[in-house]
Amino acid sequence: MSFRTPDWVKHAVFYQIFPDRFARSPRLVHTPGIQFKPWGSPPEEQGFQGGDLLGVVDKLDYLQELGVNAIYLNPIFASASNHRYHTYDYMQVDPLLGGNRALRELLDAAHARNMYVVLDGVFNHASRGFWAFHHILECGGDSPYIDWFIVRGWPLRPYEHSAEKPHNYDAWWDLPALPKFNIKNPGVRKYLLDVARYWIDSGIDGWRLDVPEEINDAEFWRAFRATVKEGNPDAYIVGEIWHEAREWLAGDRFDAVMNYVFSRLALGFFGAETLRTDYKPGGYTLVTLDAGDLAAGVHHMLSIYSWEVAQAQLNLLDSHDTARTLWTVGGDESTLRLCTLFQMTMPGAPCIYYGDEIGMTGATDPFCRGAFPWHDTGQWNYELLDFFKRAIRLRRQHAVLRTGAYETIYAAHGVFGFVRSLGSRHAVVLFNRNREAQQIDLTLPAHLPTNSRFSAIWNQGEYTALDGRLHGVKIPPREALVLLNELEFAPLPG
């Protein structure tokens, strides 16, 4: 099935924001008596630290200077949890985040800067406070909404339950706080599709879909795609699927998935020396890889999808659901740098988890959800921040690194290399994970112009191809070298 993914995604660098912990705006006046935990409190204390959407607006200058041009927000709808995956009103932005007016301001401000905003859609389950579930709690079997959920006994036990008397309705992962929708109910289907379309019509640029595999109903997702794309053909639909997802990316459901396959490949190769192999993000084992393993993994990852999908995949290293990259690799900053540069030079849309660029670290949830230290810039790693800016700028200055064709050209002795080609432009990208400099001879693909000259656009060096080979190419330790054929050395727009 032939289809197009949104072109803007192919040129995007995403930034994922966990709203309660990103930024608190002094412009948001809360109802008197509201109390938040102090900003920067240990995340394991849970609770609300008061980040809001106006705080995101206030930091758009920072994000634009960093180089990102797309924002993915964790859930923002009314909820009784700081992560807001327990939704009780899908038509209202949580008042603690500033309500619908704050989202309107964010969308307008972002769009004025040619930035995009993608929201998190949690459609598999709601919360005990969701209005239809609450109606059942109050009215029992007399509620007209009884079939919106799957009730297995009376009286319901949403709060008082035990091993002997468990909750008696279907819930996500058997968590009583998260009653599952009965997606077969036509009213539920219409409601969720109406929600999807309402926010698209309000100006959001796409949906990230939480645990979509839990809704094992292909027709629902086909209807979801049709509804969203009818509202905005360029809207991005990306699903949270941790493994290969051929059937989801065939053109009738999603544009892309959160590419945790990419994450595991990058961490396994660049972080091989310090990787916490006892940690299993999403239940998947992290394994160390050599260059040949990485080449095989990348080939498989790119070959199972159409090129349209490959360019739209959300290439992330970590998220609110995983430990931060620095923690996963035992604090080795060079691994984070290599993985980030890998993101910026590979096909797919890079996604940065808030704060990684200044060196935030932490184990898995809740430790990965700390407050961004605006209050204490002494915690910032400014050298790392500068690296992120330069790496993002590299991608944005050179279209060949965003949409150019991909071909692996070297994989041996801890060095991995590939070529990105777009028209007459060819970028040779070489990674050296070794702690010593490497010097290699490189055979170029036959389709590259013979006797071309290449100049470094990341690190240093100039080389001339002789009979299709670059000789004596030097790559610094724990670094990368990116070469561009001299004919097109001028920075490209975008």
CB 492 within 8 A of CB 427: no
CB 303 within 8 A of CB 246: no
Residue 141, Cβ density class (10 Å: 0-12 exposed, 13-18 middle, ≥19 buried): exposed
Report d(CA 302, CA 259) in Å as an integer: 11
Q: 278 an active-site residue?
A: no
Report d(CA 249, CA 254) in Å as an integer: 6
Report d(CA 285, CA 12) in Å as an integer: 29
Report d(CA 153, CA 65) in Å as an integer: 55
- Of the residues 20, 58, 94, 210, only one is catalytic, namely 210
- Of the residues 240, 255, 308, 318, only one is catalytic, namely 240
Report d(CA 492, CA 299) in Å as an integer: 27
Q: 234 an active-site residue?
A: no
CB 192 within 8 A of CB 182: no
Is the alpha carbon torsion for 377, 267, 416, 258 positive or negative? Answer: negative
CB 416 within 8 A of CB 410: yes
CA distances from 376 to 56, 272, 379 (A): 18, 32, 6
Report d(CA 235, CA 205) in Å as an integer: 5
Secondary element (H or E) of residue 10: helix 7-10
Say if strands 256-257 and 236-239 run parallel, antiparallel, or are unpaired: parallel
3-state SS class at 288: coil
CA distances from 476 to 281, 295, 435, 460, 492 (A): 31, 21, 9, 9, 26
Report d(CA 90, CA 202) in Å as an integer: 13
Kindly list the catalytic residues: 210, 240
